[in-house]
Amino acid sequence: MRALVLQHIACEPPGAYEDVLRDRDAMIERVEVDAGEPIPDWRGFDAIVAMGGPMSVNDPLDWLTAEKRLLSDAVRAGTPYFGACLGAQLLAASLGAAVYPGPAPEVGMLPVTLTDAALADPVFAGLPRELLTLQWHGDTFDLPDGAVALASSPAYANQAFRWGPRAYAVQFHLEVSPQMACEWSEVPAYEQSLEDTLGPGSFPVLLREIGNRADELNASGRALFAQWLDSAVLPAVAGSIAPP
């Protein structure tokens, strides 16, 4: 299995998702798109994984425009896709849906509620209806035409969705380890964003919460991602799912 990983800042790697890829002996090609690294031809990969970042999908950046065009082509051609946070917004935008600022930033260790469709979905199978997540975003999105809503929260109606049989997106984080969260705390823009939302001195509090519940968070992330590989990627590699 060859996986293309698209990063949008160095401190937001796939984390627990990458652990699953390595357990499956996947070949991983990591590209930091924001640093100007060129994205290889997506046709040479079995799956695309797109991670988070501090930018908006609406920022006037040439590389963002090119990435959205590439994702539209790849996903519409049936390439399995998994997007987290910015990666979820990129999927929505690449399929023609609007991405825009939400009513207020949603930040912290917060639950989302899985929809009935999610409970019946093979990727979300076995996860609790009230799923603990790490939230850190200010933008939201409309669902693309044909998408299936999979999760919501009181603040943001669209927290996860599926488009076709292979493309999945989650607005939240399940992949973050305590070490990754500490690296986030060293990014001035992230620290300022958190303090603007939760108040001065909020980063140490959040780091403790992540440390206390990282095992639960990452267990859900590994289960979700492994089930996406099993139900969306491996059948596609074997040619048993027709393109959407």
Q: What is the pLDDT of residues 198-243, one digit of tens each?
A: 899 899 999 999 999 999 999 999 999 999 999 999 988 887 454 4
Q: Where are the domains of the chain?
A: 2-238
Judge contact between 197 and 102, C-beta under 8 A.
Answer: no
Q: Kindly state the average pLDDT of the residues 27-54.
A: 97
237 CB contacts (<8 Å, ≥6 apart)? 1, 46
Predicted structure pTM score: 0.95
- Is the pLDDT assigned to residue 192 strictly greater than 90? no
pLDDT of residue 237: 84
Joined together, the tokens standing for residue 115 give: 């929809």
CA end-to-end distance (rounded Å), the chain: 21
Mean pLDDT of the chain: 94
Tally Cβ neighbours within 10 Å of residue 230. Answer: 13
Q: Kindly state the average pLDDT of the residues 192-197.
A: 86
CATH number for the domain whose boundaries are 2-238 = 3.40.50.880
- Is the pLDDT assigned to residue 170 strictly greater than 60? yes
Q: Determine the Cα–Cα distance for residues 215 and 205; give it in Å rounded to an integer.
A: 17
pLDDT of residue 189: 83
Q: Kindly state the average pLDDT of the residues 43-71.
A: 96
